[in-house]
Chain A
Amino acid sequence: MHDAMHPVTQHGPFARPRTTSSPLAEMADRQIDARSRLTTLGRDLRNSRGVMIGGSLFLAVVVIAIAAPMIARYNPIEQDYGQTLRPPNLEHLMGTDNFGRDIFSRVVFGTQISLRVGLISVAIASLIGIPLGLVAGYYGRWIDRVAMGLIDIMLAFPGILLAFVIVAVVGSSLVNLMIAIGIGSIPGFARLIRGSVLSTRALSYVEAARVIGCRDPRIVGLHILPNIASPIIVYSTLKVATAILAGASLSFLGLGVQRPTPEWGVMLADGRNFLQQQWWIAAFPGLAIMVTTLAINLLGDGIRDIHDPRLQRG
């Protein structure tokens, strides 16, 4: 509670009475400390416009994904040849496509697919990338050189190219798409974690943990990882948006989710042939991708600004 700026005088004529004399009181103090830190974090999060707007939008997207069967009025893959190419109306809020499928229902169910692609591929990337970065950064030497050599090789394939190559080999399906994007995102995670570990490894508390005989897994897991958590959280959040965009791009190319699954990229590809007259077929899935990635980017940027006060100047 009392930092170096406000020392508590313990001795001499100006000595104050000790406020924390028992272990119980110390515990209470620690709880108050933790609570005040949480309160500050909560206030920062609430005060950040990006976090509030992005967070609310993202929450809405998640709710739509979970409640899709309740929100959608039609079966997203059921064809109705009596209702083809209808413009948006009260019956079909976003119109229908050339198979008479309700675009609104397809966009709503598409939310589930896109969130799955975003979250699962980032989970795959972080499950491999984080340990790889931790080990490389902590142990250094040849382990670092080998790991970073591999990462550099993977980084030679820009953008979605690595995922593109993997899909080319394993074939296109939803699961393969998530694996491909996940593997393609490993280098970014590993590099970020390695860099953070390198700057944390030499700090005195890590040194101290080593001196008192802590084992490496304990040091890495308990002392280093929690202290580099904020860049990991920010990066993972932003990566979900990138993964959703990559998933939609690959599906648009026919290398991801296959028809008739209501995936936004696939829907955009279907709408290509109807741009002039039936604009709604391509417009709404595109908007859905944009709103979702915008929400996640706003959220990620907002969290980063809170954790890095230097950025708040701009």
Chain B
Amino acid sequence: MIRYLRGRIPAAILVLLGASLLVFSMLHFLPGDPVLIMMASGGGGIAGAQGTEISQEQYEAIRYQLGLDRPLYVQFGAFVWNALHGDLGRSFRSNQTVAELIANVLPNTFRLALLSLGISCLVGVTLGTLAAVRHNTWIDSATMAFALFGVAMPNFWFGLVLISVFALNLRWLPATGAGGWSAIILPALALGMRSAAVIARLTRASLLEVLSEGYLTTARAKGLPERIIVVRHSLRNALIPVVTIAGLQFGDLLAGAVVIEVVFARPGLGNLAVKAIENKDFPVVQGTVLVVATAYVVTNLLTDVVYALLDPRITYT
């Protein structure tokens, strides 16, 4: 395991370095001069010369302040070094640091993604197990229909349906905002629906495969009750691939939160990033994207580790 981690961790670091290079390049791939874009988007943060013509000296001064006068590799080195120290630059629009802006909303997004993951695992594993145990019955068909619709339904539309039914008509839960637990239920359901469908399908397929194994015939032959056979002997093995998918789903949920946060007007990384794109506030876009990518890479690494721990047959060399 340690040998495996010794290979896997540097690989993850390399991927993160590559991802930060991509994020760093964003500002340099922009059509036009970053300084002029910054000025056009507000520019108050650094120069305080919003919307006004600037002289050549001012222009050079801003380039110097932003470090744009240095060679690209030096700029990238500084970008990574600063990011490692929690410095993701300053917003073009406000005087706040990007790290501060992200820190304010990050817990909201993580809470939403984690709750969605919890809901989707609970719903997905339960439905998938029921479908496999009651194979070829109406329960199986209903679960598969749920899975089909769950994957095809756009989560932002499902969110709007939930708002319409539970917030506007029944008035059971708030439609928007971030206050308290009641406000997170609808967004978490909207976000988790797709993952629940994916997990239900996988649990069913995986459990069906395990249920046909010879050792379960032995378990049945010695008279074990079906409940023990399913829960103790089958589900444990069947859930191994589910753990991997659930881990990967977390990244998708973080990315999906971008849309759901806008639907429910919840403060979070998604809302922050979308507003930043509208305002051409690129340091904020870079910061949010980098944070999500880092969270995703780390989750993938952890998923692999859990996978290896769960299944003793898996060896990594």
Name A's B-contacting residues (CB within 8 A).
149-150, 152-161, 164-165, 167-171, 241, 245, 248-249, 252-255, 265, 268, 271-272, 275-276, 279, 282, 285-286, 289-291, 293-294, 297-298, 313-314
Contact partners of A255 in chain B: CB under 8 A? 274, 277
**Which residues of chain B in 126-163 are interfacial with respect to chain A, using CB atoms and an 8 Å cutoff?**
148-149, 151-154, 156-157, 160-161, 163
Residue from B22, B151, B156 with most neighbouring chain A CB atoms (10 Å): B156
Contact partners of B208 in chain A: CB under 8 A? 313-314
Q: Is B185 an interface residue (CB 8 A)?
A: no
How near does chain B come to A168, taking the closest CB pair, in angstroms?
A: 5
The answer to whether A276 and B252 have CB atoms under 8 Å apart is no
Give Cα A225 to B254, complex, Å. 36
Query: Chain A: which residue is nearest B258 at the CB level?
Result: A164
6 example contacts (A-B, Cβ-Cβ < 8 A) are as follows: A156-B19, A164-B273, A252-B259, A268-B156, A275-B160, A294-B149
The answer to whether A156 and B18 have CB atoms under 8 Å apart is yes
Select B277's contact among A152, A153, A168, beta carbons within 8 Å.
Answer: A168
The answer to whether A289 and B289 have CB atoms under 8 Å apart is no
Q: Is B241 an interface residue (CB 8 A)?
A: no
Give Cα A94 to B133, complex, Å. 42
Give Cα A169 to B19, complex, Å. 15
The answer to whether B157 and A286 have CB atoms under 8 Å apart is yes
Contact partners of B263 in chain A: CB under 8 A? 272
Select A168's contact among B16, B26, B254, B262, beta carbons within 8 Å.
Answer: B26
The answer to whether A159 and B256 have CB atoms under 8 Å apart is yes
The answer to whether A152 and B254 have CB atoms under 8 Å apart is no
The answer to whether A153 and B18 have CB atoms under 8 Å apart is yes
Q: Is B230 an interface residue (CB 8 A)?
A: no
Select B23's contact among A165, A265, A279, beta carbons within 8 Å.
Answer: A165
Give Cα A161 to B14, complex, Å. 19
Give Cα A249 to B258, complex, Å. 10
Given the known inter-chain contacts A149-B18, A294-B152, please indicate yes or no for A161 contacting B292, CB distance below 8 A.
Answer: yes
**Which residues of chain B in 175-223 are interfacial with respect to chain A, using CB atoms and an 8 Å cutoff?**
204-205, 208-209
How near does chain B come to A289, taking the closest CB pair, in angstroms?
A: 5
Q: Mark B255-272, 1 if CB is under 8 A from A, else 0.
A: 110110011000000000
The answer to whether A272 and B19 have CB atoms under 8 Å apart is no
Query: Chain A: which residue is nearest B131 at the CB level?
Result: A314
Give Cα A285 to B157, complex, Å. 9
A157-B296, A165-B289, A255-B277 provided; 11 other pairs, C-beta below 8 A? Answer: A153-B18, A153-B22, A156-B293, A164-B289, A168-B285, A254-B278, A271-B160, A275-B163, A282-B160, A290-B153, A297-B151
The answer to whether A169 and B29 have CB atoms under 8 Å apart is yes
The answer to whether A314 and B205 have CB atoms under 8 Å apart is yes
Query: Chain B: which residue is nearest A276 at the CB level?
Result: B168
Q: Is B314 an interface residue (CB 8 A)?
A: no
Give Cα A271 to B153, complex, Å. 17
The answer to whether B255 and A286 have CB atoms under 8 Å apart is no
The answer to whether B278 and A298 have CB atoms under 8 Å apart is no
The answer to whether A286 and B160 have CB atoms under 8 Å apart is yes
Chain A contact residues: helix, strand, loop or mixed: helix
Q: Is B65 an interface residue (CB 8 A)?
A: no
Give Cα A168 to B259, complex, Å. 15
Give Cα A310 to B209, complex, Å. 10
Contact partners of B26 in chain A: CB under 8 A? 165, 168-169
The answer to whether A156 and B296 have CB atoms under 8 Å apart is yes
How near does chain A come to B259, taking the closest CB pair, in angstroms?
A: 5
The answer to whether A152 and B15 have CB atoms under 8 Å apart is yes
Query: Chain A: which residue is nearest B280 at the CB level?
Result: A168
How near does chain A come to B200, taking the closest CB pair, in angstroms?
A: 13
How near does chain B come to A181, taking the closest CB pair, in angstroms?
A: 13
Given the known inter-chain contacts A149-B14, A271-B160, A313-B208, please indicate yes or no for A170 contacting B31, CB distance below 8 A.
Answer: yes
The answer to whether A157 and B258 have CB atoms under 8 Å apart is no
Q: Is B251 an interface residue (CB 8 A)?
A: yes
Give Cα A276 to B251, complex, Å. 33
Given the known inter-chain contacts A158-B251, A290-B149, please indicate yes or no for A254 contacting B274, CB distance below 8 A.
Answer: yes
Q: Is B169 an interface residue (CB 8 A)?
A: yes
Q: Is B164 an interface residue (CB 8 A)?
A: yes
The answer to whether B154 and A161 have CB atoms under 8 Å apart is no
Q: Is B310 an interface residue (CB 8 A)?
A: no
Give Cα A231 to B159, complex, Å. 33
Give Cα A293 to B164, complex, Å. 23
Given the known inter-chain contacts A254-B278, A268-B160, please indicate yes or no for A161 contacting B152, CB distance below 8 A.
Answer: no
Give Cα A282 to B159, complex, Å. 11
The answer to whether A289 and B157 have CB atoms under 8 Å apart is yes
Contact partners of A164 in chain B: CB under 8 A? 255, 258, 273, 277, 289
Contact partners of B254 in chain A: CB under 8 A? 158
